[in-house]
Structure 1
């Protein structure tokens, strides 16, 4: 997994510098989720972006493993949200798929995420423009298929470019560079 760091443009508020990672396999995506879990605690909101099949749920599986939660983490597409209680006394993982929600925060309010957020880690796939108002701080994770994998080897389809950005006061001083291996 490779990495680079870019600060966000001036005037964008309190942010940790963005970390850019190249993730070469699905297992390394899960490992990234496990490392990310070590930074998260109750009240943290994580927004996951990326096209279908990019690896959002795979990353969330790793988060669940790292947080020590009960139950297999699977895509919540048809149930909208799944709650995975902690097996270790830590925060629960609330995994939301906002893909089919079009009404923004109004529909999200029906899920009572604002009630879950203070004591849970809330991960929202497809949440851009829908859940940012839930918290003044969030971790934004953008996953894209790598455009530059030139060797076309057997794992070329698994290579992803991941950008992790901490937004808001909670993340302003956090060093996200430890996410790279």
Structure 2
């Protein structure tokens, strides 16, 4: 694991910009795990990733469909997963995602891919305590950590 990076992201626009910054480093086979409570900015960050990748279609939370695949300008699809209702890595595996051929972003990822990946990025997003989850412009605290050989020497 590389050393974790702690950031304060002031608003939704900056969260999307962080997503774009991360997207600049992503390629097929990369998995980004997002953790944080409701309203922490997981989908906003994913929207920034999707925008930077040239994803087709609106990048919205896939809560009720579990996963959405967005074709991108590069030809490497962006797969956006909401794992909130999934109980285990086995249930996530049942979605039959093409992890090797896609860039995959998994919201509510805690404990869903433990031991399943060789390399991944994880972002823990925290909104202010007692804050309104609908307040997109309240600052968020983000801890980004890269794990595995894919991320050795990559500056994010």
Provide TM-score, normalisation by structure 2. Answer: 0.91
1:22 aligns with 2:22: no
Alpha-carbon offset, residue 138 of structure 1? 0.3
Alpha-carbon offset, residue 174 of structure 1? 1.7
| From 129, 136, 139, the counterpart of 2:121 | 139
Alpha-carbon offset, residue 156 of structure 1? 9.4
Alpha-carbon offset, residue 175 of structure 1? 2.0
Conserved 8 A contact 1:23-1:160: yes
Which aligned runs of 4 or more in structure 1 are off by greater than 3 angstroms? none
1:127 aligns with 2:112: no
| From 72, 84, 99, the counterpart of 1:99 | 84
Alpha-carbon offset, residue 131 of structure 1? 1.7
| From 96, 107, 130, the counterpart of 1:112 | 96
2:2 partner SS: coil
Alpha-carbon offset, residue 173 of structure 1? 1.8
Q: Which runs of 5+ in 1 are unaligned?
A: 1-14, 148-154, 177-181
Alpha-carbon offset, residue 65 of structure 1? 0.4
Provide TM-score, normalisation by structure 1. Answer: 0.79
Conserved 8 A contact 1:141-1:162: yes
Partners of 1:157 and 1:71 lie apart in 2 by 24
Conserved 8 A contact 1:16-1:175: no
In the alignment, which residue of structure 2 is the partner of 1:59? 45
- What's the CA shift string for 1:61-92, capped at 9, x where partnerless? 00000111111000000000000011x22411
Q: Which runs of 5+ in 2 are unaligned?
A: 130-134
Greater helix proportion: 1
Q: How many residues align?
A: 151
Alpha-carbon offset, residue 119 of structure 1? 1.3
